[in-house]
A and B are shown apart, each in its own frame.
Chain A
Amino acid sequence: MTTDLHGIISAYRTSPDLGVLVHGRTASALTFAGRYRLVDFALSSLRLAGVRNVGVVMQKEYQSLLDHIGSGKAWDFSRKDGGISLLPPFSLDAARSGVYNGLLEALLAVESYIRRIQERYIAIMPGNLAANVDLRAALKEHIDSGAGITAVCAKGTPNGEHHRYIVDDKGDVLEMHYRRISETAGVADLETYIVNKDVLLEMVDTAASLMRYRLHADGIAGYLSRGGKMHSYIHEGYAMQINTVQDYMQANMHMLRRDARRSLFPLDRPILTKDRADVSTYYAECSKVTNSLVSDGCYIEGIVENCVIAPGVHIGKGAMLSNCIIMRDTQIGENVRLKYVISDKYAQIKDGEVLVGSENVPLVIPRGYIA
Chain B
Amino acid sequence: MKKSCIAMLLAGGQGSRLYALTSNVAKPNIPFGGKYRIIDFPLSNCANSGIDTVGVLTQYKPLRLNSYIGSGMPWDLDSNEGGVYVLPPYMGAGEKGSWFKGTANAIYQNMEFIEMYDPDHVLILSGDHVYKMDYADMLREHMEKDAACTIAVLQVSMEDASRFGIMNVGEDGYVCEFEEKPARPKSDLASMGIYIFNWKKLKQYLIEDENTPGSDNDFGKNIIPNMINAGEKLWPYRFEGYWRDVGTIISLWDANMDMLSPKLIDLYNENWPIRGRSPIRPPQWIGPNAVVEHSIITEGCEVEGKISNSVLSNSVIVGAGAEVNYSILMPGAEVGPGAVVEYAIIGENTKIQAGTHVGTQPDGSEDWGVATVGPGITVAPGAVVPAGAMIYESVEG
What is the total number of residues of chain B having a CB less than 8 Å from a CB of chain A? Answer: 38
Least CB distance, A283 to chain B, in whole angstroms? 5
Distance in angstroms between the alpha carbons of A289 and B297 in the assembled complex? 12
B292:A261 contact, CB within 8 angstroms: no
Which residues 306-324 of A have a CB within 8 angstroms of B? 308-309
Which listed segment binds B: A62-70, A210-218, A291-299? A291-299
A120 to chain B, nearest CB (A): 31
**A-binding segment of B52-60, B267-275, B380-388:** B267-275
CB <8 Å contact, A277 and B278: yes
- The answer to whether B1 has its CB under 8 Å from any CB of chain A is no
Residues of B within 8 A of A295 (CB): 283-284, 299
Q: Are A283 and B296 in contact (CB under 8 A)?
A: yes
- B residues 265-305 near A (Cβ < 8 Å) are 267-268, 273-276, 278, 280-299, 302
Query: Are the C-beta atoms of A279 and B288 separated by less than 8 Å?
Result: no
CA distance A288 to B285 in the complex (A): 13
Cβ contact of B294, chosen from A264, A265, A285, cutoff 8 A = A285
The answer to whether A284 has its CB under 8 Å from any CB of chain B is yes
The answer, yes or no, to whether B262 is at the interface (CB within 8 Å) is: yes
Bound complex: CA A255 to CA B275 (Å): 27
Chain A at the B interface: SS class: loop
Chain B residue numbers with a CB within 8 Å of A270 are 280-281
Which of these, B33, B287, B293, contacts A291 with CB under 8 Å?
B287
What is the distance, in angstroms, from A346's C-beta to the closest C-beta of chain B?
13
Asked, given contacts A287-B292, A290-B289, A294-B297, whether A279 binds B283 with beta carbons under 8 Å apart, the answer is no
Cβ-defined contact, B278 with A293, below 8 A: no
In the complex, per-residue mask of A348-368: 1 if CB is within 8 Å of any chain B CB, else 0: 000000000000000000000
B297/A291 in contact, CB under 8 A? no
Is A278 at the interface (CB under 8 A from chain B)? yes
Check A186 for interface membership: any CB of B closer than 8 A: no
- Cβ of A135 to closest chain B Cβ, rounded Å: 20
A-B contact pairs, 28 of them (CB 8 A): A33-B282, A35-B299, A256-B285, A265-B282, A279-B34, A279-B274, A280-B34, A280-B296, A280-B311, A280-B312, A283-B295, A283-B297, A284-B294, A285-B293, A290-B286, A290-B287, A290-B288, A290-B289, A291-B286, A291-B287, A292-B285, A293-B285, A293-B286, A294-B286, A295-B283, A296-B283, A296-B298, A297-B268
Interface residues of B (CB under 8 A from A): 33-35, 73-74, 259-260, 262, 267-268, 273-276, 278, 280-299, 302, 311-312
| Given A256-B285, A261-B282, A293-B286: 17 more A-B contacts, CB < 8 Å | A34-B283, A261-B285, A277-B273, A277-B275, A279-B267, A279-B273, A280-B34, A280-B259, A280-B267, A280-B297, A280-B311, A280-B312, A281-B284, A282-B296, A290-B287, A294-B286, A296-B299
In order of increasing CB-CB distance, the 8 nearest A-B pairs are A280-B34, A34-B283, A277-B275, A291-B288, A295-B283, A280-B35, A280-B296, A285-B294
